Structure 1
Amino acid sequence: MKRWKLIFLIVLILMIVGALGYAEYIHFKTKQANHQIDQAIHQMGIPEKEQIVIEKPKYNAEVFGNEWFTKVITTKKDYQTWKKIVRTNHEFLNGEKLTSKNKGKLDSVSSCELTYSFTYESVNKSVDVDLVYGGNSVTKKQENTYFAYKISRK
């Protein structure tokens, strides 16, 4: 019976070490991705004081496949623009009517519908950015009209 206890203990330790190793790997890769995304944000000309993080970098992966990390931000200027649009039109950008029940969303930065979505792909070490207007990709006109910072197209 003692032999089975020893085998069980060894297997348990290996599982714990493996899980901790994987967690540390994800932490390291997420930190690396966040650094790359922050560089892309800096290249867009968005000052650090202006940034509001809505969604911290998240680890995503296919089974035995590519890894990617997403980070969503808005800016203080875009947040103010969004609130002004919603109050003027009495409607959120996604089409939902502004009512007394959902008016509190205007006080929550996480509800802002003018966002910048950054994706870091570890396989090719690149960062892509998408501007999002009410949950949808923006048109060039929306980008020029509503967003404080533009995607530099080289």
Structure 2
Amino acid sequence: MNILFSILIVQILRVAVADFCQSGYYGPDSQMCTACQDNYSSTQGSNIDSSSCFPCPENQTSSSGNTCSPCPDNFYSQSGQYCIGCPDNQQSTGGQSCTACPQGQSSVSGSSCSDATTFSKNQKQFIIKTIFIIIFLIL
């Protein structure tokens, strides 16, 4: 019984001091680590083989061998995918999902919302008159 107990203690201690691959890698020990693919990561201590690599959560990404981190502002991702710019007239911050710009603001893909540029009725009339004058002078 003491021998069996001793073997069990040795196994527990060996696991406790095992030299695991760091997060973002997998392998049987730190001498044989392989990087998880882009947009995947792993947790140190449970990363024995490639099935230990998990897709980064929604709105997060990673490059090969790194841990998952939030997409930059105004970008988003599906789980396990690269970050891409939020669609026009949407924005995001801190790795959150894209949301519509507030009333009176707009954006182009991958940029923050800002006040929409609008022309007043007088500005539109001035531009139309100027175009007609230029056309008249050319003819």
TM-score by length of 2: 0.31
TM-score, length-scaled by structure 1:
0.29
Report which of the two has the higher share of strand: 1
Q: Between Structure 1 and Structure 2, whose CA radius of gyration is higher?
A: 2
1 or 2 for the larger relative contact order (CA 8 Å, sep ≥6)? 1
